[in-house]
Structure 1
Amino acid sequence: MSDLPFTVEVFTAEVPMARPFAHAASERRTSRSVLVRCTLAGATGWGEGAPRSYVTGESLDSAVHALQHAQLPALEALFTGSFHSGVRALAALDLSAALGSREHPAPAAACALETALLDAWCRAHGRDAAEALAVVGGEALRSVPQVPASALVVDASRTPAELLGALSAEARSRLTHVKVKGLPDPEATRELVMSAREFVDPARTTLSVDANGAWSPALALQAAALLADVVDWLEEPTRPRDWATLHRIQRGTGCPVMLDESAVVPADLDDAIRHAAATYVNVRVSKCGGPLASLRMLQHARTLGLRAQLGVQVAEVGPLWAAGRLLAAHVDELVAVESGRQDEWFDPDLTVPPYTIDRTHHRAEPLPGPGFGLVPSPRFLQTRTRRAGRTVPGPTTRTPA
């Protein structure tokens, strides 16, 4: 296999959304993703990253630049042995730091590259990507895969009554988690939560509020006091890594904190534990650097006693949602799982196979392999993507800007 060509291509994709998605920190009407196509050991794999400036500080341009101009080890050298050795070698890399730096990692860019490499390697061996997870997953994985019920996210573009009220009684009864996106005003946010509680049974459906880091420390403390008796946790209530305020929220109001933008790399979790600043963490595949990097993050959270949610980036267009579904079915003890609303935002022909979800049972089935079981559709590639650079023999050296 080592004599076969190794290439990496970078693309950008921008897809208008049929419905906006809004929260206290941002509003999104267009999906912007970086895509990587990798040819490795005679097979082709695809990866995606969703750079969001308010999440990791990355933009679409910076992610492309990182992929085109970073100095990396000779990646093809990782894939000269067995299937298992290639997976372990890829899992051992810190691509986020290699594409950025320790101080300013580039996880969305790393996610696109890691996913493409893993997809290609699995396809070259005729393996499902689940087999790659099993190589490095350890105790974090279920003994038998299980598809969890997907959470419902109430964003600021619709009220709880509009979103939850449109569901059938059966669909509402099967909800296991509802996340309400916070508003700038904590009291108005509590009203949203109380409205959502009218449509679900809190005894079997957990509720959370996600502020996306938009509240000041004072507002976050006020919100936590207002919400402590009506939510199960408060996600990213103030600016990222404000450990002192997060500690005060947990200890002073009794409202558990879930980290999101504050938790990009495993070292963030160490800081949170040192400051007694969190009970939960939201792991997102793009935010954390790829499926293997996310699995590493989940393993570290488990070691530290933090419980985890598997979240999504808004408006994932293909490989990202396939990777997320795979992790959701195999990772054990998740408190909640998100699966996106691509069926509302996009035409179904972006990928082969298309995005599907059972909205009555809230089931998002993982795709069968090989690899992650998905490729961008020819129409999507022709009409919604742009090649960001020439085909290169792997990003092993810095290329001219």
Structure 2
Amino acid sequence: MTATIATIQTARVSLRAAPDLLVRGARGPHDRSDFLLVRIVTSDGVEGYGEVSATPIWSGEDGTSAEHFIRTAIAPALLDRPLTPVGAAEDLMDKVLRGNPFTKAGVSIALWDAFARTLDVPLAVALGGPYRTEIPIKLSLSGDDDELERAYAAATSAGFGAFKVKVGLGLDGDLHRVRRARDLAGAAFLGTDANGGWSRADAHRAIPELKALGVQFVEQPLEPRDLRGARELRGLGLPVIADESVFDARDLLDVVEAQAADVVSVYVGKSAGPGRAVRMGQLAAAHGIDVLLGSNGELGLGAAAQLHVAAALPRLSTYPSDIIGAHYYTEDVLAKPLDSDGRRVRLTDEPGLGVTLRDDLLREFR
């Protein structure tokens, strides 16, 4: 008999970013995460956990909106329904709630976690992998002068050796920041992320200088829908990564048709769940485009989901992904952190997400 979804519970969690690693991007600073954790219990007693990694300045969602929609729309639709196929539950969420991909992702992660635990396999296996068990990672650097120096010192102290610099905050300051980051990092891997903050003129001026500094890529240089402009920038010789331009499969196909990116940043929150994130990666690969795993500042559960998706993708960019989890925060939500040394994050053979929440957080579910 197929297990059904018996219980859906939520718990609020709020963590502050580590002060020296605070990200200051074109969309504003990310100094704390007020997220929502999700627990699903099946009729067989199997538990699955997820995380709604949503921030209003980025996605228009947060823990408050997510909890409201899970309780009033998603839970009534899913309770007593079969756990499998998970895709059917995801389709049902789309029918009862428009948009809100990060909220749906939190529930979807928990569904996939429960499914993989039912099979007693890692989530990456349930998603069709793994194609790899180690994922190279990088960390964002932001701030100016002393702030940037403190960020770099904190990042290297945590073991990181690859970075991307936040730009899109004013071109002269952006270029100064990247030059200083290059001075600090020496020959280390360095990319840039404008979060859509540049005009075409800014980007045309910036990219030749970034290329001369040995920058490896420019992420989301223009506002999300300016695909024609992004295509023009690719002709300047620096790879373009699309992030905010790509949330779903339709967005991805638009980018492909416009030839607007060399690499696409995919992650579980934007895609509304791990299975859909993998399908996005497969679709990109079918069109000859690599993907990497970006970040919305995920906590431990979200970072674990990102890790399993990266492991399950048939084609992953050689550029480091952004699976950073607890590295960004003053504390961890996991009882045992992900296996990460700042250079790589590694998959384990534990079932499901392969992680466990702290006991105090487990007591918060309602």
After superposition, the CA RMSD in angstroms is: 3.0
Q: Does 1:364 align with 2:345?
A: yes
SS at match of 1:38: strand
**1:208 aligned residue (178, 191, 206):** 191
Q: 1:59 aligns with which of 62, 67, 73?
A: 62
Deviations 1:77-131 (A, max 9, x none): 443xxxxxx35x5279446744543xxx221111111110111122233222122
CA change 1:191–1:96 in 2 (3 A) is farther
CA distance in 2, matches of 1:92, 1:194: 48
Secondary structure of 1:354's aligned partner: coil
Q: Give the corresponding residue for 2:23.
A: 21
Give the corresponding residue for 2:282. 299
RCO greater where, 1 or 2, for CA within 8 Å and sep 6 or more?
A: 1
Shift of 1:258: 0.8
Deviation of the 1:272 alpha carbon: 1.1
Change (3 A) 1:95 1:277: farther
Paired residue for 1:150? 137
1:52–1:58 contact (8 Å) kept in structure 2: yes
Separation in 2, partners of 1:7, 1:170: 38
* 1:90 maps onto 2:87 in alignment: yes
Shift of 1:293: 1.4
- Aligned equivalents of 1:6, 1:244: Cα separation in 2: 48
Q: Segments of 4+ in structure 1 off by > 6 A?
A: 166-170
* 2:167 maps to which of 182, 193, 202: 182
1:8 equivalent in structure 2: 8
Deviations 1:237-294 (A, max 9, x none): 122222132223223x333321111110011111112222111111122222121111
Which structure 2 residue ranges, 5 or more long, are not aligned?
Answer: none
Separation in 2, partners of 1:170, 1:371 = 27
d(CA) in 1 for partners of 2:345 and 2:62? Answer: 28
Matched residue, 1:245: 229
Which residue does the alignment assign to 1:396? none
TM-aligned CA distance change 1:258 to 1:5, over 3 Å: closer
Q: Is contact 2:240–2:263 with CA below 8 Å preserved after alignment?
A: yes
Determine if contact 1:95/1:107 at 8 Å carries over to the other structure: no
Q: Which amino acid aligns with 1:317?
A: L
What amino acid is the match of 2:304? A
Residue by residue over 1:127-186, the C-alpha shift from the partner in whole angstroms, topping out at 9 and shown as x without a partner, is 22122012xx6xxx52xx3313321321227655444456779967xx3x4211115122
Question: Which of 182, 187, 203 is matched with 1:197 structurally?
Answer: 182
Which residue identity does 2:134 align to in structure 1? V
User: After superposition, what is the alpha-carbon deviation per residue over 1:348-381, rounded to whole angstroms, capped at 9, x for unaligned?
Assistant: 4x2222355314xx12222442211223212235
Q: What is the TM-score of this pair, normalised by structure 2? A: 0.85
Q: Which amino acid aligns with 2:87?
A: L
Verify: 1:373 aligned to 2:354, yes or no.
yes
**Separation in 1 of the partners of 2:92 and 2:216?**
34
Q: Which residue of 2 aligns with 1:38?
A: 40
Give the corresponding residue for 1:333: 316
Aligned length: 358
When residues 98 and 159 of structure 1 are mapped into structure 2, their CA distance, relative to the original with a 3 A threshold, is farther
Q: In the alignment, does 2:276 pair up with 1:289?
A: no
Partner amino acid for 1:191? Answer: H
Distance 2:182 2:306 in 1: 28
> In 2, distance between residues paired with 1:154 and 1:122?
35
The separation in 1 between residues aligned to 2:238 and 2:136, in whole angstroms, is 24
Whether the 8 Å CA contact 2:5–2:80 is kept in 1: the answer is no
Contact 2:135 2:344 in 1 (8 A): yes
Structure 2 residue aligned with 1:393 = none
2:119 is equivalent to residue 119 of structure 1? no
Structure 1 pair 386/39, CA: closer, same or farther in 2 (3 Å)? closer
2:249 maps to: 266
Question: In the aligned structure 1, how far is the partner of 2:3 from the partner of 2:134?
Answer: 39
Amino acid at match of 2:67: V
Task: Tell me the CA shift for residue 10 of structure 1.
Answer: 2.7
List gaps (5 residues or longer) in structure 1: 80-85, 388-401
Residues 216/386 of structure 1: CA separation in 2 closer, same or farther (3 Å cut): farther
Task: Give the aligned residue type for 1:186.
Answer: L
Closer/same/farther in 2, CA of residues 152 and 70 from structure 1, 3 Å limit:
same
Other structure's SS at 1:207 match? strand
When normalised by structure 1's length, the TM-score is: 0.78
The one-letter amino acid paired with 1:26 is G
Query: 2:288 and 2:295 mapped to 1: Cα distance?
Result: 22
Give the residue type in structure 2 aligned to 1:305. Answer: G
**Conserved 8 A contact 1:211-1:238:** yes
Percent sequence identity over matched residues? 27
**Residue of structure 1 equivalent to 2:262:** 279
Answer whether contact 2:292 2:310 (CA < 8 A) is retained: no
Q: Is the 8 A contact 1:284 1:294 kept in 2?
A: yes
Pick closer, same or farther for the CA change 1:15–1:223 going to 2, 3 Å: same
Q: CA deviation at 1:45?
A: 0.8
1:299 CA drift (Å): 0.8
Is the alpha carbon distance of 1:5 and 1:242 closer, same or farther for their aligned partners in structure 2, counting shifts above 3 Å?
Answer: closer
Rounded to whole Å, the distance in 1 between the matches of 2:278 and 2:167 is 28
1:295 positional shift: 0.7
